[in-house]
Amino acid sequence: MRDGGAGGIITLQHLKAAPWKRRRFPVLKALEVIPVNGPAVCALGLGKSYNGKIFALHGLSLEVRAGEVFGYLGPNGAGKTTTVRLMTGLLRPSEGSCSVFGFSPVQKPGEVHRLCGVMTDGVRMYRQMTGMENLIFFGQIFGMREEDGKERAEDLLKRLDLWDVRDQKLSAYSTGMAQRLSLARSLMHRPKVLFLDEPTSGLDPESVQEVNSLIAGLARTEGVTVFLCTHQLRYAQDLCRRYGILEKGNLLACGALGDLARDAGLHAKASLRLKDGDAPSGFTRGTDGWWTTDILSEDEMPKLIRRAMEEGCSIYEAEIRKPTLEDVYFQYMALNGGEKP
């Protein structure tokens, strides 16, 4: 078996499993042949047209590193779900290619499915079965023995606050419960890559927080790579390390927040809250009453504060406001004449 050097592909839990117990971890079968140095998810000129004329996705090239939480952002109809369906082998690409840990979903769908957990709106569960029955069933079709599936299902149901409704039929679940159960299903076989399409839509704020902390925990402690499609930019900023911004099937930008902000021409701002009537030179007053000016680096801040004080301004508060993901997203959308997410 290979070592887990690259991005913590193999967790301690997996390594501790004796060979005769490894069937409890179906993902191990695929892990034994994972190319450890490659990216977790890779797309090269990937595209899909449903009618041969209009492309729902066009020329997508990106890499997601192992163990990374990647935010895939874009308005409805931008091509996010199409991307997930292509990467998980539910659709065949019209152009280009993609891979998950080096496995092509077209040529090796079984290996890709063994490694991936997928949660999208189109991927539903059985309404006449209880939450527990659903999870055990999906565990079984991923090669887990019934008792192991039950153990795993119990753990996930507790972690996702569904334990009390485990014996209720899915048809009796609220939207939020069904959404969390779907997340539990996608985690049943301990996937190494999670494709999540709006995992927190329809959830109350408490559930959103629980789901987000679960996702962050999976990436941090188990080295799970997360490909997160979302509209919720605030949560995405908390969770993700890098982002891809998609619009009308085209990837507008891809990278860390700082790089995206710089490329979009957005800078950090030095912001001061002053006594009424004070007006420092070089600053402009915002609608919130704060005085701001663009800065290229944090080193400029002390200088600006000093200058304001020399000009006789009384400073109540001072802070550096970095561009948020929302700022960056809307900047890219504005530059491309796009829509709101």
Which chain residues interact with another protein by CB under 8 A? 26, 88, 90, 109-111, 113-114, 116, 118, 122-129, 137-138, 140-143, 145-146, 185
How many CA atoms are closer than 13 Å to the CA of 239, on its beta-carbon side? 32
How many CA atoms are closer than 13 Å to the CA of 285, on its beta-carbon side? 10
Q: Compute the radius of gyration of the chain from its Cα atoms.
A: 23
SS3 243: strand
CA distances (Å), 333 to each of 31, 79, 238, 261, in order?
A: 39, 15, 21, 13
Q: Which residues lie across from 293 on neighbouring strands?
A: 270
Per the listing, tokens 């539903």 go with 124
Torsion of CA 23, 28, 32, 35, to 10 degrees: 160
**308 is written with which tokens?**
């304001």
The Cα–Cα gap between 241 and 239 comes to 7
The Cα–Cα gap between 85 and 79 comes to 10
CB 145 within 8 A of CB 114: no
CB 25 within 8 A of CB 190: yes
Q: What are phi and psi of 272, to 5 degrees?
A: -125, 140
SS3 42: strand
Vertex 203, ends 173 and 56: CA angle to 5°?
100
